[in-house]
Structures are given as structure tokens and as C-alpha cells.
Amino acid sequence: MDVKQLAATLAQNADACARFLLPNGKREGGYWVAGSVDGEQGHSLQVCLSGNRAGIWADFAGQDKGDLVELWRQVKRLSLPDAIREASEWAGVTPIHLSQPKARHYDLPAPQDGEKIGPEVSNYLTAQRGMTTGTLEAFGVKQQGRSIQFDYCYPAGQVVHRKWVGLDRPEGKKQIRSSKNTKPILFGWQALDPNTRTVYLTEGELDAMSLHQLGFPALSVPNGATANHWIDVEWENLARFDDIYIVFDGDEPGQKGAMEVAQRLGVRRCRVAKLPTGQDVNDLLVSGSTSQAIGTLLAQAACFGPEELKPVEAFRETLIEHMFYSDDSVDGLLLPWASTHGLFRLRKSELVVLTGVNGHGKSQALGHMALGLINQGERVCIASLEMPVNRLLERLARQAAGVRTPSEAAVNGMFDWMQDHFWVYDKLGKEKTESILEAIRYGFHRHGITTFIIDSLLKCGLDEDGYNEQKLFVEALADLKNELGLTIILVAHPRKKEDETNPVGKMDIRGSGAISDLADSVLTIWRNKKKEEQLEVTPDDAEIAAKPDARLFITKNRNGEFEGGVPLWFDRDSFQYTSFRREQVKYYVSQDMIDSHRQENTEGENHA
């Protein structure tokens, strides 16, 4: 929950919050009044308790005003982060945590400090790039050899990341290097007002320093407009800002990156500034733009209004591209079975329902699908409401290693491989639909997760006969996948049948008909139990053994043409499905990863 959401939550209980913060005040009409933020009796400070301005306050004897988060900060004499934390606890706001199999480890930069800025670097930064000595000191800029050194650190903390930009430009190319495996935080925290609730994000260090010099609180992303891995690290720190202006370069990569950052941080509090093509903030500073001129430009930053209102002309290029130049065969993510590649894909903004009789391998197939998505670079989260996390990860380890009993080194290798690409919603049993929806939204914005697997609808806190509740939940999932461009896979159980001989389809899903109606695709996993029974009687029958162990049925495919069944074979050692009999299973964990951990274990044993 960011500061804007927290302020809205406090405003819903404005009366109780005002009484808590200012117990010596009193109510007068629709306001809670006191003398000042010190809490004495009086009338100068007034807090609105209802209506559209609920939670807004002002001290008419001075200049102070704001919302209830700002009132909390001033009354309690706290920093803004501490005020947010304390007010959240008072309001009972519980943060969402998605478990990741292994937290990423970052190193600290080598303990080599830069030198005081020399004449050449000083001339470049001041005479050529317009920086003042005060700005360079505020950001702690140093020099190493013929490179400018930028230290990334928090106000009272140690340096956690470093970047060097060379003065020399061989063949006109910038020479940039960064410390290895260090935490990718934003640059400029050391110069930022700790209580500001507006920030300007730039694409480079000099741009952030330029805005700071012109009077705008600014931070820079560490590695350009399109590398967004810093968002995971800085999420909590950015929660304190009401307004985030994204001031990336005026070229196409800059504007595209700005839109991606806004989607992740939340479009309701982000604005994207449009700089002149080919220019950045520092260019504007050097060319003589004043604080007033830059302020006018930034004030025109685009909000995210009702995007649904578009002229038909806006669709011309995308339609022509789709109809005549795009290759549908590469649209979407592949399932891990080669036999499905020309028939079906998992696409963004789609809700996929997976069904199948109990014991037919839905969860095993889901795990295998998740590994296949991670292997394509996708960020995946599984809400395994029917299976303990340890059991889920045991199965995934078996599938990832491709063997019945993976070694400790192979399991460690799996965690390394999954790092930054896999999360678990750690809840076993019934869960509220509101919590699941909020976790999906949070996971997308906080971690960039774009595939969510919910196993299963039966555990989503809905009555089995509550058809309208089921419809509303599936509608909410459909709206969310459209809004955020997600792939959501929902497991839904079928109605009980007399036997398991025939596969179930979309018409057999238990509950509301809206489940299959609202889904973009419906998949069924069917296990050939008749084959298993026959092999128990005649284990050497080659004709029976050649039959598929299972089938994946595609019974609805809204954005594709194929509907039908695809044969699969099941490898009992790895729990993987294959497209062909005797096809080799896939080893998702590389031998290099396994060898690396074996070496670590050996070194640890020798040391012991």
C-alpha cells in the first residue's frame, strides 16, 4: 500500500484518527479543531472529517497543511517513512508478501573509494554539463582515473552500488561500467528531502542532478529506461510518494520505458513527461532552460486518463500489422510440449481454465507448465491452496532436475535458476477472493509477475452452490487480466461422473457456467487409467504400452483455431510429460549449476 492509498484509508476513519492524534482538540461541526500540530486547544488547525475533503487539514495560523499522513508525521515528529509505518499499524493495514524460493544476494562494491574531482572532470561537469559545485557535493560525485564515479547509497547508509562514466568517448561511444552483483537502487537518495512526497525519476545521473539543481526532487534509475529490475528493490521506498513524474529521454526507448515503469509503480500516481525528441534534462539545463521553463514542461506531464476513448484511426497500424505482417505462430508463450506448439499458446490478457478429474495430474501438469514458462523468461506465481509449499517445491525439484531423486546440489541449482522468476502465494486452504485479487495486483506492480496460477477455485472462499459469487470472482479475474495484460490460469474441478474413462470438457466444470463462458481457453488433463489397468494384467503388451499415458484437451481456444486432443506420455521418474513415447525429458537445471553447488559442498566439508 503506497502513501496515497494509506491517506485514503485514514480518511475513511478521519474522526478516529484526528481524535487519536489531537486528543486535546474538539469537534466543531464537520471539523476536528486544535491549536496547532503540538496538540493544544484552539481553533487554528482544522481537520475535515467528512465529504470529498475528509482527512484534509490546514493550520490557518501558519503554512502547514496536507492529509492525515502528513498530520501524523508532524504531530509525532517522525520522518515520513516512520510515519507511514506507524500509521499503517494503527490502521491495521497488512502488507502482502509473496514468498520467493530464494532471496537474491547482493554484494557490496569493492572498498575502493574515488578521488576528489580533478580539473578535467570538474571542467566537464561544470563548464560543459552545467553542474554547480554545490550539486556535485550534494550527490557525492567523485573521480576514479579518467572516469566520473557515482555512488549509489541511502542518506545514512553505506554505498551499495557504484557506476563509472568515462570522460573519453572512443568512436563517440560512452564508456560505462558498474560494480558487479550489487544492489540496483536509485541514484540520489543522499540529496533528496526525506519528507518530500513528490519525486521526479530520470534516465541518468546528470539528469537527476540537473533537476535537483533547478529545485525539483529527483532520483535516477541505475541502468537506463528499459531495465526495471530496480523496482523490486525500491518498492517500499517509493511507497511514500503521492506523485511520481517519469522524466525519461525524449526518444522512443525512453518513452516506452517510462510507460512500463508507470504501469509497474501504479498509473494513478504516475505522470510521464514528454521531453523534446533527442534531448534529456541535462541537455535542457545546458541550453539555458530556467527552473520556470522546466517547471512548465513538467506540469504538462501526461496523466493516465480514460484510455478507452480512442479514435478508430488509433487502430489502423496495429490491425494492418496483425492481419498482414505478424506471425501468429509466435504470438504467446509455449507449453512445454512440442506437439502443442503449432496449435496453442498462452497469451497475455487471457484467462485459462484448467480442469480434469481428481488424480488425473492437473497439479503435475501445472508444475511442468510453470517450469516451461520460467524457461522462457516469464515471471510466475503459484497460489497452491490445495498443496503445502514444501510438497509443491519437492515436485518442482523433481521436474526441474529431470530425475526421481534430485541431489542437494540439483535442488540448490533449481533455486538459482528460479531466482527472480518464481513466487509462491503461501496459503494452504480456503482464501478470500479479495486477498487473491489484491495479491495478483500487488505481484504485478511490485515484482512484475505476469503469469498467475490459482490452484484451485474450490479453495477461493466461495460456496459450492454460490453461482453468482463464482461469476463475480471470475469476472474480476477477467477484468484484471485485461487491465494488466496478465495470463491467469485457474484450476476448476469438474462435476462427479460415473467413471473416469472419458475426459471431461468445458461443459462439465462444476459451478457457474460463467467459469467457462468468461475463460479465453479451457484445457483438460485426462489420464489413461484404462491403459494402466491393462498393463497391470499384461505388462509386456507392446501395443498397449504404445498408447498415450494422458491427453491434453483444448476444448476452448478463443484466440486460436485448434480445438482437440494432444497425446502425452508421462515419465514417472521426473513427473514430466513428453510429446512422444521415449522422448528424453528436459533438464531445466544445468549441469554447470549442479557442479557449482557440488563444489561449494565439497569445499564446505573440507573446511569443516
SS3 sequence, 176-227?
Answer: EEECCCECCCCECHHHCCCCCCEEEEECCHHHHHHHHHCCCCEEECCCCCCC
DSSP states along 301-366: PBP---TT---GGGGHHHHHIIIII--GGGSSBPPS-GGGTTT--B-TTEEEEEE--TTSSHHHHH
DSSP states along 230-295: HHHHHHHHHTT-SEEEEE--SSHHHHHHHHHHHHHH-GGGEEE--PPTT--HHHHHHTT--HHHHH
Percent of the chain with pLDDT over 90: 75
- C-alpha cell read off for 50: 467528512
Flag whether pLDDT at 315 surpasses 80. no
User: Quick one: pLDDT band at residue 105, thresholds 50, 70, 90?
Assistant: confident
How far apart CA 581 and CA 547 sit, in angstroms, is 9
For residue 306, what pLDDT is reported? 47
How far apart CA 391 and CA 480 sit, in angstroms, is 29
Percent of the chain with pLDDT over 70: 94
Flag whether pLDDT at 607 surpasses 70. no
Question: Stretch 40-63: mean pLDDT, rounded?
Answer: 92
Asked whether 547 and 561 are in contact (CB, 8 A), the reply is no
Question: Stretch 452-462: mean pLDDT, rounded?
Answer: 94
For residue 103, what pLDDT is reported? 66
Burial of 173 (0-12, 13-18, 19+ CB in 10 A): exposed
User: Quick one: pLDDT band at residue 608, thresholds 50, 70, 90?
Assistant: very low
- C-alpha cell read off for 125: 561537469
568: left (phi over 0), alpha (psi -120 to 50) or beta: beta
From residue 530, alpha-carbon distances to 178, 505, 572, 573 in Å are 60, 19, 17, 21
The owner of cell 486535546 is 24
354 forms beta bridges with 491, 523
Greatest Cα-to-Cα distance within the chain, rounded to the nearest angstrom: 94
Flag whether pLDDT at 95 surpasses 70. no
What is the helix (H) or strand (E) element at residue 166, kind and residue range? strand 159-166
149 forms beta bridges with 142, 164
Question: Stretch 185-197: mean pLDDT, rounded?
Answer: 95
For residue 212, what pLDDT is reported? 97
Length of the chain as a residue count: 608
The three-state secondary structure class of 473 is helix
Express each pLDDT in 358-375 by its tens digit.
Answer: 999 999 999 999 999 999
Flag whether pLDDT at 168 surpasses 80. yes
Question: Stretch 240-251: mean pLDDT, rounded?
Answer: 93
Query: What number of other Cβ atoms are within 10 A of residue 48's Cβ?
Result: 18
For residue 308, what pLDDT is reported? 52
- C-alpha cell read off for 348: 497475455
Flag whether pLDDT at 29 surpasses 70. yes
Residue 4 carries which side chain, given as an amino acid letter? K
